[in-house]
A and B are shown apart, each in its own frame.
Chain A
Amino acid sequence: MKKSLWILLLISILFLAACTDSEPEVTLPTDTPSPCALTPLAEGCYTPSDDLDFISTTPEEYLISETFDDERINSTPRNWLLYRDQEYAVNGVIARIQGDDDHRFVEMFSDGKKSPQFPQNAPNPTFIFTTKFNLDIDRKGVLYGDLMIPSDKPNYVVNFGLATGSVNTISVRIEQDMRLSVKVGGPFFYYSGTGDGGDVTVTTYTLTKDTWYRFKLTWDASDNLVAAYIIIDDVETLLHSAPFHISNRFNAEPNGMILVPNVARVTMPRDGIPGWAYLDNVILERKGA
């Protein structure tokens, strides 16, 4: 009996040993050492990337041509962005198409109560209505736009102009009493540090309510000039011309590169005073075209 047990035990051992030998054979292919283990950078091991096929960084220029005549009544214009955030009342700002089949325009309202949170302590507007363009290669251009202040609704300050990102380049400003001024530059993020809030020039014009006024704004980085005109009865009158404001230069440095505008916008300030205005025919052209 004991001998039988011994034999059984030995057979079992040999069987188990055989199993042991067979397992590495099964796993051998996956456990083959990499030939590159010790020479990871050698030719035949490391293959560098081909030159990567990157896309071009050249900007694509495009213009604006907004008569709003093909927009739907009561809708927000398709190519425009009306800023608002969680703090705004539901109808704290409005920009909607009004008019009839012959003539459509944008009706704009601001309650003047809230504004973007940054930069803090800066006079950020409540109403910010924008559309973009790109003339970064030309670095010059002409923007037209029509504004009207209604007499049957409350009105307050309205600005129409060009912006470089969020920073004003040049804009016309209709005060609550309908006086007309021009603002060049600012505010920039250095606002609180250097006070470069922009330069305002008062004109001799006082506008009339219920009348459409056409404005023309130009810029040319090669001449370092921006300008604002009013067009009445096809007569173009220069309101103000000036060099680019420091806020439109790199790091707000006097010799910093001029940063050209890419936004057409209408703004109304945050002073707690509501106001209505109308916008039409926002057209951007190449300068000299």
Chain B
Amino acid sequence: MKKIVLGLIMLLTFILLPGFNLQANTHGIVYKDSDYQRLHAVIEHVENVLKYGKAYNTETDLIPDAINTLTGEPAKWTFPNRAEVPYVNMANQQNFLRTLVALSNVTGSDKYKNEAVSILTEFIDNYQNVNGLFHWGGHRAINLDNLEVQSFEGPNGPHELKNMMPYYELMMEVNEEATIRFMKQLWTAHFYWATTDMNRHGSYSTAFDINVFGQEIPNHVIEFDEDGMPIIPADSPGLLPFVNSATDLAYAAFTLSNHTGDPIPSDWANYLMSQYNRASHPVTGMTVYQYKSTAVTRSPLECADPAYTNSGCGDRVARQFRDFGSIARESNVAWKNTQAVYVDNILMLLEAADKYGQSHFTDWARQYLEGYLEYAYIRVDGRNKIIPMFIDGTVTYGYVTPEVGYFGPSNMRLDYVDMPTTYLLPILRTILLTEEDEDKEKLWSYFRDIVYTFGIGDIGSLGGATPNLNIDNAIDDPFALMAMVELYDATKNPQYLEAARTIGNNIVREKFHRGFFVQSEIMLYSRLDMPDTLALLTLDAVIRGIPLSDMPYYLADTGYIHGYLLSDDGVVETRSYTQNMVYTKTIFDWE
């Protein structure tokens, strides 16, 4: 009897202890005023984007990629002859479309999703080429002045998607037939079935192929030498099979298979991504940016000038970094395009693993990231850095380029590169999708170091159930925010939620200016594709108890336009990107 009474008392003790109450409270999260203030900022931003984005040309529902926060006008591309083009590039607005749908989810109002549907409807109805490709991507957009297709790479710029990962779920809702047609033609225009070449550029003249994916899957491109090293062919006729384009091809094919139930597109996507996996370094595990080099097709006279960097002069790294011998190939560089290889590519692999049954992609992602972090990650002066190197681990740190080339000017010293916070998501999502704890440990220890060095605090031992976070941090980064939200979702530990709330508040305080979200207070343009609003809405959703699986998912924000334009000095021509030439402008650059 005494034992029973004692047991009862002990039970009562546990029930009444504060810790139990705290845990119980976290199941019913209070939506506070500060939570609403963040949402208010997102609503205000979206309303202003819609209001001023549509005000420029009232003939259309399309809105520009970015808005000048001093004039309210669209961002404009300035050609070498001063022609200014306000541009709508739907490939670069995918996070805004996701934001609109997410905003409808958290507010319960269809208004914002209807805006997204209206924008997409006009785009799909009017800007799908006869062969199925959309007029969007790296070299084409819509001119908001005249609503005509504008090329940025000569008069007939090619189709190019690089890690843009369109919001296919919504596109399917809007126009299933057109979306499927696009996903099929993406392969026909970019993949060369007979030679297994792939080109980041696709032609708008390539006819639609009703028998797309109809060919038997060929042997692998990447074979191995007697030492087990992958052999990278150098026979591509000017075609560059960049992984960031392959990522978009694969994502389209997986989505297509999932939607139609036909496994063949998925098989081709597997085949394509396998080439990058096979070309990975067998010792370090690091993977490649491309699985072929180009053949030399240009004349020796043209190629004698190192400033002439056309890929027809052969592998551009072999030209500029010949001091490093045979490892110096474009495929093997691990200090440029690393965002494409180790962030965007990984996020697509994990999406396919999670949603489309490609579970082996999780192992690939873990292999790539573990190798990369083991060899290239370094903490310098309390900051997360990347050591420049080739994928076999050959360090290029300190190397001074002897001559100009594709990778930069002469006398350029290769130095450590800051590791951006974008790495948080692929590392975390890889861990979360990995099944066995023992397989998570290595990546978790890197993740723990990286998170700590970013200033978020200690996520603790494997699993993150007992963190010691820096709740009162000054971080205003959307990737850190999404990482905290996803860790909260996985662990339900309220520390992550509080850290996320702090980061969310910081984002609003530091980035919400003049009625728009901008990269910082002095930046001129509010870019629709920036992930901050989507990240804030993801936080809002978990506070409300909306499952993350019901929310639009962040996959990439690397949309750009690339082409010929007027330099910043206004007097010479250059060839560059919106990210380097337009979105770097500050309010002090405005004339």
Contact = CB atoms under 8 A, between A and B. Distances in A.
Interface stretch (B77-85, B344-352, B435-443, B578-586): B77-85
B43 A41 contact: yes
Most buried by A among B18, B83, B575: B83
B81 A259 contact: yes
B107 A48 contact: no
B71 A57 contact: yes
B12 interface: yes
Given A13-B12, A259-B82, A262-B82, A20 B18 contact: yes
A120 B310 contact: yes
Interface string A247-258: 111111000110
Interface stretch (A30-38, A208-216, A278-286): A30-38
Contact of A117 (B36, B43, B307, B566): B307
B83 A250 contact: yes
Contact of A13 (B16, B111, B155, B308): B16
Contacts of A85: 409
A186 B83 CA distance: 14
A257 to B, nearest CB: 8
B110 to A, nearest CB: 11
A83 B44 contact: no
A218 interface: no
B7 interface: no
B242 interface: no
B394 interface: no
A172 to B, nearest CB: 18
A240 to B, nearest CB: 20
A151 to B, nearest CB: 30
Contacts of B414: none
B32 A31 contact: yes
Given A34-B33, A41-B109, A120-B308, A163 B571 contact: yes
Interface in B522-580: 544, 563-564, 566-567, 569-575
B57 interface: no
A9 interface: yes
Contact of B575 (A37, A41, A118, A163): A118
Most buried by B among A48, A86, A132, A166: A166
B146 to A, nearest CB: 9
A257 B85 CA distance: 12
A49 B515 contact: yes
A90 interface: no
A164 interface: yes
A266 to B, nearest CB: 11
B515 to A, nearest CB: 5
A241 interface: no
Nearest to B148: A251
Interface string B38-75: 01100110011000100000000000000000111100
Nearest to B70: A55
Interface residues on A, range: 35 or more
A225 interface: no
Nearest to B153: A189
B325 to A, nearest CB: 25
A190 B80 CA distance: 10
A57 B73 contact: yes
A120 B309 contact: yes
Contacts of A118: 564, 573-575
Contacts of A17: 16
B52 A265 contact: no
A288 interface: no
B71 A55 contact: yes
A58 B192 CA distance: 50
Contacts of B307: 87, 117, 120
A34 B38 CA distance: 12
B411 interface: yes
B302 A121 contact: yes
Interface in A117-144: 117-121, 124, 128, 130, 132
Nearest to B576: A118
B76 to A, nearest CB: 11
A41 B44 CA distance: 10
B38 to A, nearest CB: 11
A188 B21 CA distance: 71
A231 interface: no
A117 B566 CA distance: 13
A45 interface: yes
Most buried by A among B81, B107, B410, B544: B81
Nearest to A49: B515
B379 interface: no
A259 B71 CA distance: 22
B514 interface: yes
Interface in B97-148: 106-109, 111
Contacts of B283: none
A193 to B, nearest CB: 5
Contact of A16 (B16, B36, B108): B16
Contact of A40 (B39, B52, B70, B154): B39
Interface in A184-214: 188-190, 192-194
A247 B412 CA distance: 35
B13 interface: yes
Nearest to B154: A193
Contact of A189 (B72, B564, B571): B564
A32 B32 contact: yes
Nearest to A169: B81
A269 interface: no
Nearest to A248: B81
A52 interface: yes
B155 A165 contact: no
A87 B410 contact: yes
Nearest to A59: B591
A59 to B, nearest CB: 8
A247 B13 contact: no
5 contacts: A36-B36, A118-B564, A166-B573, A189-B79, A256-B83
Interface of B: 9, 12-13, 16-18, 21, 30-33, 35-36, 39-40, 43-44, 47-48, 52, 70-73, 78-83, 106-109, 111, 150, 154-155, 302, 307-310, 404, 409-412, 514-515, 544, 563-564, 566-567, 569-575, 590-591
Given A118-B564, A164-B81, A165-B81, 8 more contacts: A20-B16, A34-B35, A40-B36, A52-B48, A86-B412, A120-B307, A189-B563, A189-B573
A-B residue pairs, 8 tightest by C-beta: A189-B564, A86-B409, A37-B31, A167-B81, A17-B16, A34-B36, A165-B82, A54-B72
